[in-house]
Structure 1
Amino acid sequence: MTVSRLSDIPGIGVDKIGDTADALRNRDILRLENLDTDIRPPAGALAATHAAIDDDDANSYLPFTGQAALREAVAARMHRSFGVTYDPQTECIISAGGLAGIFNTLLSILEPGDEVVLTDPTYAGLINRVRLAGGVPKFVRLVPGARGWRLDLDSLAAAIGSRTRALLVMSPSMPSGFVANAEEWAAIAAHCRRADAWLVYDAAMERIVFDGHPVIQPAGLPEMRERTITVGSVSKEYRMIGWRVGWIVGPAPIMADVRLTSLSNVVCQVGIGMPGATAALTSNDDGVAAAVAEWQARRDRLLAELHDLPVVRPSGGWSLLIDTEQLGLSPDEASRLLLAKADVAATPMKGWGPQAGRYLRFVYANEPVARLADIRERVRAAWGL
């Protein structure tokens, strides 16, 4: 019998589509279903990781909060990029990937029944972790438009209540590619202050923004440093998915609780992964700008090829959404037809928020522009459109 904490937690869908595509062993399949990328990690990160394999200090549980050099690198990045200062000893903890950091943070701030505000659509893994931590998700609509997604500020106000404990915001957001603008961040911050709520900021993709959009760190907004917990990782920006290294930064009092939760949960991070992460954060050439330019080119190709279909323009991130319900197809059926008839793997968004169930996601991080050139013909072959 399924335990109660899992009763409202569906899968994320990606695993099923990915497993099916893997089983076909067909290199012609466009892998648009999973958040992988073919762009290499920073050279310095690769070299440091190779060296760590022979370093006995990397083969250790200690220190439980993460290697000092990496915590210092994270704090330095926060100060250098956003002017927000953190003590690497008391206000930074290294986690076994960003999502472990999110989960440990939620476990540290939520009482059973506390409400957590999230955008809709949003990553199913975030929704599921809120529920696993005993929280209740409350959703704020993202509204699609000709220039992309915008946060419905009336919906945001309506989602805030007496049980609101946190707002969990990702920007750029996955799967939509929504990037919060200054007005939206100001509204989020105002509600956090008014409700005395935490802002848990998922910064996994914060520099993967397109079209000249600025990168805004909410901890730098007025009166927000003491109520913002930022969770980042090397997985997306630095293309280091397999390293499973992330970080949590926030004010010292709550970080003491996050430290206890971390010790009680995953215990420690990937020892041989941390030197590579440190090298990535301290490199003079981390490759992020070049990678972002390439991902934007891939986004632009998809938008051009699919211009006559109900695709919502992403302002950042690794993926975009297409509203297949407008085409008379459920996302499940659209996904099935794409794989069966056109060698395209794509994930339906069921479970990724109340309105997300009408969308199919295309990930462009793992397929070069040349491979995307015939995507419209593949869609036509699959859907007859």
Structure 2
Amino acid sequence: MNRQRPKRLEGLQGIGVDKMGNIADRARGRQSQAGLLAPKLLRLENLDVDIPPDGVVPNLTSTAAANDDDNSYLPFLGQIGLRNAVAEHLNSMTKGATQYRGEANCVITAGGLSGILNTLLATVEEGDGVLLTEPVYAGLLNRVRLAGGIPRLVPLQFTPGESWSLDRQKLRQVVESPDNKITTMLLMSPSMPTGAYLDYQDWALVAELCVRHDILLIYDAAMERLLFDGLPAIHPASFPGMTNRTITVGSASKELRMIGWRVGWIVGPELVMQDIGLVSMANVVVPVGIAQKAAKEALQVSKTAIVDYVDELQLRRDLCMRELRGLPVGKPDGGWSLLLRVDMLGWRADAAAEALLEQGACVTPMVGWGSDGEAQYIRIVFSNEPRDRLAGLGEIVRQALLK
């Protein structure tokens, strides 16, 4: 069969996480078969979390699994109770700047990234420029390309041991260059994989540019409340002129620790939500019915329940920063991961990941995660290992890379 590869697959890259995860699983299996008592690999490669969801979540899910109404194709756009809870949550995050209603403004999806793709398919024309910051998560780039958009990347500024910062001058240049044809921004704060935080001045500039140039903002809010050091969550739809041009995509995976439940949501202006609803029904058809009541309850209790969880994440972040002191690592202001810039140690990311694996730590090399320069970085996830296991990370890194 002589078959040409579809054009929309051009530029798509593997994200490397699956490869590294498979390697780690095989190594663990070999140890088990051989009866070896070697230390368990540090699993730092995948955005998982070892902190379970709130106790109400498994109980409600178990009940829903035996309920016929939850084992249904209906409702296509999500259960109205969850849609209303999400709308209320967004109205709270924007401090009343929005007046969303579940039925008019919210669609439930099978996870956050499904929501990102559906939104892009409903809003982006072939050849449109879509602005993202980099270092960037490869899964976002792939979805922009699948939707026919052209990623236009704005660098986050890196200083070893310090927080990442947005290059505002470059942001303005990228938007105002007619060659880039920017119609959409796809932004996240804190960002994956850097943990970069967009402050009030950053969002004010984004709002100014979106309003002036009639640009749509897709806001990936998967981690917006996972912020450290008392930083406030700032929702871009709260800025003047942004309510009718912001689409928020959220998820139960990161903030509610419900990765396997596959629940996400899209919230935005009623007119565009009609198109997003059509795409959603043409894509996954319906989100997981047995997961939605649990997601609703978890979202509603998260206003208070999230505090201890964020405190634990910050303790892990702080521990990793102490372990890696003196190495070229970017400080995350939130989220689940940090980046180590291995080219400053004389390594490419893929080779550095192999060396770390030999020392007992599985990480993700960011090869193909953006511009060619992304091969400078490895991603280290600190959400999936407890502090007693993260202690000693510095010694592992130095043994592997400071040769």
* TM-score tier after normalising by the smaller chain length: over 0.9
Report the TM-score, using the length of structure 1 for normalisation.
0.97
Give identity over the alignment, percent: 49
Q: Are 1:42 and 1:285, in contact at CA under 8 Å, matched by a contact in 2?
A: no
> What pairs with 1:121-270 in structure 2 (closer than 5 Å)?
121-145=135-159, 146-160=161-175, 161-162=177-178, 163-270=181-288
- Give the whole-Å Cα distance in 2 for the aligned partners of 1:384 and 1:109: 47
1:44 touches 1:283 (CA, 8 Å); kept in 2?
no
Unmatched segments (≥5 aa) in structure 2: 32-38
SS at match of 1:93: strand
Q: Find the residue that maps to 1:357 and give its secondary structure.
A: helix
Q: 1:59 aligns with which of 64, 68, 71?
A: 71
For structure 1, which segment, 319-328 or 374-383, has the greater mean C-alpha deviation from structure 2 after superposition? 374-383
Report SS of the residue matched to 1:102.
helix
| Distance in 2 separating the partners of 1:62 and 1:264 | 14
Moved more, 20-29 or 107-116: 20-29
- CA distance, structure 2, for counterparts of residue 369 and residue 58 of structure 1: 38
Q: Note the aligned Cα RMSD (angstroms).
A: 1.3
Distance in 1 of aligned mates of 2:274 and 2:44: 40
Q: 2:328 aligns with which of 290, 310, 313?
A: 310
Contact 2:88 2:101 in 1 (8 A): no
Alpha carbons 1:45, 1:278 under 8 Å: kept: no
- State the 1:286 CA deviation: 6.0
Partner of 1:90: 104
Tell me, in whole angstroms, the C-alpha distance in 1 between the residues paired with 2:202 and 2:309.
27
Corresponding residue to 2:8 among 5, 10, 16: 5
Question: Do the aligned residues in 1 keep the contact of 2:130 with 2:150 (CA within 8 Å)?
Answer: yes
Distance in 2, matches of 1:249 and 1:121, equals 26
SS in 2 for 1:86: coil
1:105 aligns with 2:108: no
Please state if 1:301 is matched with 2:319: yes
Q: What is the CA distance between 1:353 and its match in structure 2?
A: 2.0
Q: Is the 8 A contact 2:194 2:337 kept in 1?
A: yes
Gaps in structure 1 of 5+ consecutive residues? none
Counterpart residue type for residue 242 of structure 2 = M
CA displacement, residues 153-178 of structure 1 (integer Å, 9 cap, x when unaligned): 11101211442110000111000000
Amino acid across the alignment from 1:264: A
Partner of 2:59: 47
The amino acid that maps onto 1:74 is: V
Q: 1:74 aligns with which of 86, 92, 95?
A: 86
Tell whether the 8 Å contact from 2:350 to 2:375 is kept in structure 1 after alignment.
no
Corresponding residue to 1:346 among 345, 357, 363: 363
* Corresponding residue for residue 279 of structure 1: 297
C-alpha contact (below 8 Å) 2:156/2:167 kept by paired residues: yes
Deviation at 1:382, TM superposition (A): 1.6
Q: Deviation of residue 285 (structure 1)?
A: 6.8
1:28 maps onto 2:28 in alignment: no
Alpha carbons 1:238, 1:287 under 8 Å: kept? no
Deviations, residues 317-369 of structure 1 (Å, cap 9, x unaligned): 000001100000111111001102x1100001122222322111100000111
The runs of at least 4 aligned residues of structure 1 exceeding 4 Å deviation read none
SS at match of 1:125: helix
The answer on whether the counterparts of 1:75 and 1:86 sit within 8 Å (CA) in structure 2 is yes
